[in-house]
Amino acid sequence: MKFNVVCRTLRLAASITIGIAAPGTGEAHGSRMTDARVLDGTKIANEIKAEVAAEVELLAGQGIRPGLAAVLVGNVPASQIYVRSKVKTCAELGLFSELITPPDTVTTEEMLELVASLNAREDIDGILIQLPLPPQVNAKLLLEAVNPAKDVDGFHPVNVGKVQSGQPALAPCTPAGMIQILKRSGLPIAGQNAVVIGRSDIVGKPIAMLLLQENATVTICHSKTHNLAGHARGADILVAAIGRAGFVTPDMVKPGATILDVGINRITEHEEFDKFFAGDVRREELFLLKGSTLIGDVHPAAYAVSGAYTPVPGGVGPLTIAMLMSNTVRAAKLRRGLPV
Ligand code: NDP
């Protein structure tokens, strides 16, 4: 079966990044307006991308050009935006990329055949299969068919195991990016109480494992956890990866804690907007203009209690693509036995 193969630089409209002005709700906790530090994910992602571009240039001197194959099945609009911006970033940083677009009628067998051909290609170092896949495709089987050495999403059980045992591996991009935010912001991890809310394979579990490797004392909370607020209040580093708008409220945050807000939730109702952002005039103007706004899993008032936090948008989100680029270069080096 032949798939559409597109190799090109895509020009997407630059997305607007809006910093959240955390409202000063500190009074409810007996303190003044917030001095919480905003952890600028866009800036950190740009630093990482610049380092990747420099590495790509060095590798070019050795005749190596790291290559990413991005597989986008069907016409899911959000997936199209994500994948195109990944392909565009490859072009910007000097990586080779190939966009492969099977139709949404594709079968598991056809996808397995495609993965086998990408596994065998010398010019491809990373294979990205954009999720979600159509229901007839066995996603688990497919992700396990990717050569672990090319698994730049870090979802293959071999990479999961290697991350767990501290061996050189390809770690999942979003959690790896979150560690970079902490390290590059000079925030301590070793010895800190880290509480992760959410236990998905993509975010919760891997970030817990990476924090543990950095010598944090880690607690993982989920929907069956008793006294979740009590656990959260003990956190020096609080990770919210739940998928529920404004779930973490000010009473759940230890004053001065670091908050990593992974959630991306879209709000479209004005009533809900007022619940979280009443008084934020700039955001309301944009909300009325666009008909929606994004909010994380942390209530904006809870940011005010923290010492530092990642905003939504512009916090954790930008790191995902930067780390995908970094993982592709890492995969290219590991596969050739070069030091990483
Ligand atoms: P999942 O839906 O896979 O997992 C959500 C987790 O939250 C589950 O472990 C679930 O617990 C837990 N949870 C749900 N409700 C509650 C509750 N009431 N109390 C306690 N725990 C609860 O989500 P993901 O991990 O994939 O994503 C989480 C968020 O992060 C989403 O908003 C997503 O859009 C965003 N995201 C952002 C990325 C980025 O910035 N680049 C990348 C990936 C995700 P249980 O296991 O018990 O059901």
Q: Model confidence over 53-95: pLDDT tens digits?
A: 999 999 999 999 999 999 999 999 999 999 999 999 999 999 9
Cα–ligand 1 centroid distance for 61 (angstroms): 42
72 and 115 housed in the same domain: yes
> What is the number of structural domains in the chain?
2
Pocket of ligand 1 contains residue 85 by CB under 6 Å: no
Name the nearest CA neighbour of 150 among 166, 167, 132, 128: 128
Pocket of ligand 1 contains residue 204 by CB under 6 Å: yes
89 and 236 housed in the same domain: no
Ligand 1 atom at shortest distance from the alpha carbon of 320: 41
Mean pLDDT of the region 238-253: 98
36 and 69 housed in the same domain: no
Cα–ligand 1 centroid distance for 203 (angstroms): 8
Pocket of ligand 1 contains residue 90 by CB under 6 Å: no
Mean pLDDT of the region 287-292: 97
Mean pLDDT of the region 244-265: 98
Which residues have CB under 8 Å from 132's CB, separation 6+?
Answer: 76, 79, 139
What integer pLDDT is reported at residue 33 of this predicted model? 53
pLDDT tens digits along 42-60: 999 999 999 999 999 999 9
Ligand 1 atom at shortest distance from the alpha carbon of 241: 28
127 and 274 housed in the same domain: no
208 and 270 housed in the same domain: yes
Active site residues: 86, 130, 153
For the chain, the residue count is 340
Which residues have CB under 8 Å from 228's CB, separation 6+?
Answer: 197, 221, 252
134 and 88 housed in the same domain: yes
CB contact at 8 A, 242 and 292: no
Tokens representing residue 177 in the block: 């990016």
pLDDT tens digits along 10-42: 222 222 222 333 333 333 333 335 789 999 999
Q: Specify the amino acid at residue 294.
A: L
Within-domain flag for 312: yes
CB contact at 8 A, 95 and 64: no
Name the nearest CA neighbour of 311 among 288, 283, 330: 283
**CATH number, domain with residue 91:** 3.40.50.10860
Domain that holds residue 124: 64-150
Cα–ligand 1 centroid distance for 41 (angstroms): 20
128 and 277 housed in the same domain: no
228 and 102 housed in the same domain: no
